[in-house]
Structure 1
Amino acid sequence: MPNLYTPALQPGALADLPQPVLSHDGLLLRPWQERDVAAVVAGYADPAIQRWHCRSMDEAEAREWIARWPGRWNAETGAGWAVTADGSVAGQISLRRIDLEEGLAEVSYWVLPSARGRRIAPRALAALAEWSFGTLKLYRLELSHSMLNTASCRVAEVAGFPAEGTQRGAARHADGWHDMHGHARLATD
């Protein structure tokens, strides 16, 4: 059944672009590399990251996780960046659940314990939003976090993603179902 509207973005809008390296406010967001395996393992071994992202990885799984990102880019289903500060991986940020037809994507991020307290996540989120709206031409970026994850809520607000509401019991974590707080930013904001 045909839509009665023109898609926001045509197929190829992402895959036809090279994945960029983004520089913003002292951070460099770059595609993941094989040499980042230890940082990915360390990230997913951190209890705080495990609590909110509900996964862990060994070295083989981290290698596979890194190796899948170019395929996600080409399939236009996801895009991931290593967030670096002072030459070291400080965290990750990604576009998940990309829907080019609707012009939207969901954002996910985490920061390694050694880099916390330096506003890495909101700066990375601002850089990704700038590129997503300015170059890719998405219309809407969404993110959600457990209502118990107050740090993620602060990141969203500082990066200009106002709260939109709460979804009851929307995500399962290791300790049970969590209500999720939704935030979004529009290209017109």
Structure 2
Amino acid sequence: MNDLKELKDLMLPGVDGEDARAKVSFEDIRKKQADLIQQSLVLADQLRDTVEIAGRKTSDQFWFANRQARELGSEDDQGRFGTRVRRRSPRTLSFEWYVNRFWNDSNKDASKKRIASKYIPKSYRYHHDMRQFMTAPEWERFAIQVAESRFKQLREINDTLTVLVDVLLKVQRLQDKFAKTID
């Protein structure tokens, strides 16, 4: 029996279950397990994609507020902080903040400014201490607080997905080890 669609029938106790299981090989079981693990890994990756999209949307909202302040506010009221979402590897996301420093470029038009960005490390496992943003104007502190609150949740979800993937890969290794005892 190469089809394990009706797993519930194979779990029946007694003679009915024995008869159903007699038609199934350990190789059939191994293939089904490998398929289920692979499907679960794909779903975990898709979940991580949705976390990335939510992070990027949060970042977009922060940058929208930043652009509004730049267009409507005075130079003193402009934002100094920035954020980005990075996919470091297929299964690693980061939600980052940085502080920007601006200066006029003597070789360029006076309206053009140069910018240097410095990464701000997290104070805690999943979030930044809001004191790291005390130099921000009030509107920017509020925007940072909203975004960082969301980023904290997304970092926790991402971390949990990483644990889930690690567990699935461990199950896969254990299943492979079990299969070797059958051979």
TM-score norm. by structure 2 comes to 0.27
Q: From the two aligned structures, give the one with the greater strand fraction.
A: 1
Larger radius of gyration: 2
Q: From the two aligned structures, give the one with the greater helix fraction.
A: 2
